[in-house]
Amino acid sequence: MELFDVMIKRRSVREYGDEDISDDDLDKIIKAGLLAPSSRNRKPCELVVVRNKKTLRQLSLSKKSGSAMLEKANAAIVVVADSVKANTWIEDSSIVLTYMDLMAANLGIGSCWCQTHLRYSGDDKLSEDVVRGLLSLDDNYRIVGILSLGVMVEELDSHEVPIISDSVVKFMD
Ligand SMILES: Cc1cc2nc3c(=O)[nH]c(=O)nc-3n(C[C@H](O)[C@H](O)[C@H](O)COP(=O)(O)O)c2cc1C
């Protein structure tokens, strides 16, 4: 698919079938994340791939809301960034998540960004602390989010091709 077509087709998919996504597809999604650019090429991000059902359920409880899809996901990729390596860990992690999300859409795999940074669990703990604890990570690791992945049960409507209007895009002289 052309990159523009992938962007038009990409949707946040939160319902998944029971089948496994293939190792080959998972590999491509991981490699897309590893291809993401980073400020000063510091590459602070590491990926933790979770396929274990118990851990997926625990991750789904890391937030009050907006993380339920992780329980039924076939895999989740937690993007963890060493904040000592780069103070741009938010930006760098966000690009990694976006690249992987786009590759998943390209492969027809359902995916959704689950925000961890600045969010809280049902018992009012910082979601980052909950996820860091689950993955036994040191405090210098910061977690912007998790990408949930699974076989799509229903294809969501594609986006409309955006209209370039002067309310959001200004062409300067
Ligand atoms: C920074 C960011 C955080 C997000 N966090 C969540 C989340 O925690 N849970 C969720 O279900 N979706 C989350 N999403 C997905 C958005 O809700 C979704 O992208 C938006 O509603 C537009 O829908 P679309 O992705 O299908 O175009 C997040 C997306 C972004 C970019």
Q: What is the pLDDT, as a whole number, of residue 109?
A: 98
Largest Cα span, the chain: 57
The model scores a pTM over 0.95: yes
**Distance between Cα 130 and ligand 1 center (Å):** 20
Task: Band the pLDDT of 52: cuts 50, 70, 90.
Answer: very high
Is residue 93 lining ligand 1, measured as CB closer than 6 Å? Answer: no
Residues 46-73 have a mean pLDDT of: 98
Is residue 141 lining ligand 1, measured as CB closer than 6 Å? Answer: no
Please state, as a whole number, how many other Cβ atoms lie within 10 Å of the Cβ of residue 114: 27
Is residue 146 lining ligand 1, measured as CB closer than 6 Å? Answer: no
Which of 64, 70, 112 has most ligand 1 atoms within 8 Å of its beta carbon, as the pocket-test mutant? 112
What is the 3-class SS of 28-58, one letter each residue?
Answer: HHHHHHHCCCCHHHCCCEEEEEECCHHHHHH
Is residue 17 lining ligand 1, measured as CB closer than 6 Å? Answer: no
Residue ID of nearest Cα to ligand 1 atom 14 = 113
Task: Band the pLDDT of 147: cuts 50, 70, 90.
Answer: very high
Helix 53-60 crosses helix 127-134 at what angle (to 10 degrees)?
170
Is residue 112 lining ligand 1, measured as CB closer than 6 Å? Answer: yes
Is residue 113 lining ligand 1, measured as CB closer than 6 Å? Answer: yes
Residue ID of nearest Cα to ligand 1 atom 26 = 11
Look-up of token digits 């991000």? 45
Q: List the domain boundaries for the chain.
A: 3-151
- Provide the mean pLDDT of the chain: 98
Residues 157-161 have a mean pLDDT of: 97
User: What is the tens place of the pLDDT at every residue in 74-116?
Assistant: 999 999 999 999 999 999 999 999 999 999 999 999 999 999 9
Q: What is the pLDDT, as a whole number, of residue 20?
A: 98
Q: What is the pLDDT, as a whole number, of residue 139?
A: 97
Is residue 114 lining ligand 1, measured as CB closer than 6 Å? Answer: yes
Give me the helices (H) in 112-158, please.
Answer: 127-134
Q: What is the pLDDT, as a whole number, of residue 165?
A: 95
* Superfamily for domain range 3-151: NADH Oxidase (3.40.109.10)
Q: What is the pLDDT, as a whole number, of residue 107?
A: 98
Q: What is the pLDDT, as a whole number, of residue 88?
A: 99
